[in-house]
Amino acid sequence: MRNYQSKIRLDNHANSHYYIHPMTEKSRIMDGQGIARTLQRLTHEILERNAGCEGLVLVGIRNRGDVLAQRILKAMSSIESREVPYGVLDITLYRDDFQRLADSPVIGETDIPCDITDQKVVLVDDVLFTGRTIRAAMDALMDFGRPSSVQLAVLIDRGHRELPIHADFVGQTVSTLKSDGVQVRLEETDGEDGVVLIGS
C-alpha cells in the first residue's frame, strides 16, 4: 500500500512543471458563525455607504463570490423592502494569464440579468489577493454597460496586491505569506462553512 502511494506521488511530480509542496491547514480564520456575523456587518456597511439599496446591483464572482453575494442579498431583503438585482460573473475569458496556462480553463456561466448602466455595482468575492481577478471582473463588467460606480466587497483581504486595487468593504484582513493559501469553504459549494489558512 505504501509503495503504491509513493509511486503515485512520483508520477504526479513527473507530470507537473512545478512541484507543489503538500499544503496543510495552519490555522482556522473563521468558523460558520464568524462568516454569518461578518456578512451581516458587510450588508449593513454596504447599505449605510449607499444610503439604502436604491440603484444597487450585486454581482458575485464565481466560484464562491456568487454564493456570498446571494447570502448578502438575503440579509439585505430582511432589512430593506426593495429587491436588489443580482448577477454572476465568470472571469475566465478575461484572465491575464491565458497565454501562460497549460490548459484552456472550463468556462463558467455569466449572467447579468439587468442593465448595469448608471447603477451602483457591488462586486462580491471571497478572497482579495493579487487583485488580478478584480481587474478581470471590472473589464468584464464594462462590457455589459457603464455603471455609475463599482464597489468591492470581500470576505477576506490577505494582502500581497500586484495591482492598485482596494476593497471598499472587508470582512477580515489577514496577514499571510505569499506562498500560503486562504481557503473559503461554503456550505453550498464545499459542504461546510469556514475559512482556513493553509501552507507548507
Q: At what angle do helices 32-49 and 65-79 cross, to 10 degrees?
A: 60
Q: CB neighbours of 133 closer than 8 A, spacing ≥ 6?
A: 61, 91, 125
* Closer to other proteins by Cβ: residue 5 or 97: 97
Which is nearer to other proteins, 4 or 18 (by Cβ)?
Answer: 18
Q: Whole-number minimum distance, CB 146 to other proteins, in Å?
A: 10
CB of residue 103 to other proteins, shortest distance in Å:
5
> Please, which residue, 52 or 159, has the CB nearer to other proteins?
159
In the block, residue with C-alpha cell 496577514: 175
CB 88 within 8 A of CB 70: no
Residues making contact with other proteins (CB under 8 A): 16-18, 61, 63-65, 90-95, 97-111, 125-127, 129-130, 132-133, 139-140, 142-145, 181-183
Smallest gap from residue 122 Cβ to other proteins (A): 18
Closest CB to other proteins among 55 and 93? 93
Question: CA 42 to CA 19: how far, in whole Å?
Answer: 38
**Residue 6 three-state SS:** helix
The distance of closest approach from Cβ of residue 33 to other proteins in the complex, given in angstroms and rounded to an integer, is 23
Nearest to 40 by CA among 66, 78, 82, 67: 78
